[in-house]
Structure 1
């Protein structure tokens, strides 16, 4: 797999995973909840789990391309911040959009 294609694949997976909790009312888009609207806390926990899943996908792709580079905690904090920023459009649509009911 080309390095550029692998990079775009991980970026697209991160965008989709960061917005997934905000665009549906099921946990991980599979498990229905007992609430009519999923609470924000559950959405944030779901985002954290999806952050780990996208990181695992990235490490797997990096391992297939070549040797993995060692990362420090700063890398993970910056990646978490970027993941939160990528999820901002979903947050806007879910909580800040004016509803015309």
Structure 2
């Protein structure tokens, strides 16, 4: 896989993963079913777990491409902010849009 394809794969995975907690109402991480809808705290915890899973994917692809570059706190601050920005459409759909229930 080329470097550009790896970058786009991580970006696409981050966008999907960031919206997943807001799209799946009665599943934790898309795996464990719940009887009641998830509260916001569970969704935020899922966001943190999915951020690290996407980071692990990026790390694996970087390792496969060559040497892993050392990262400081700035890298994690920027990628965390980008991940939260990617989660905005799912948050709006779940909490801010008016949908017909029933």
TM-score range, shorter chain: over 0.9
SS in structure 2 of the partner of residue 87 of structure 1: helix
Q: Distance in 2 between matches of 1:32 and 1:71?
A: 36
Q: CA RMSD in A?
A: 0.8
How far is the alpha carbon of 1:34 from its aligned partner? 3.2
Which of structure 1's runs of 4+ aligned residues deviate more than 2 A? Answer: none
SS in structure 1 of the partner of residue 32 of structure 2: coil
Q: Distance in 2 between matches of 1:48 and 1:39?
A: 15
Q: TM-score, normalised by structure 1?
A: 0.95
Partner of 1:80: 80
Structure 1 unmatched runs, 5+: none
Matched length: 100
SS in structure 1 of the partner of residue 7 of structure 2: helix
Q: TM-score, normalised by structure 2?
A: 0.95
Where does 1:1-101 land on structure 2 (aligned, <5 Å)?
1-25=1-25, 26-35=27-36, 37-101=37-101
Structure 2 unmatched runs, 5+: none
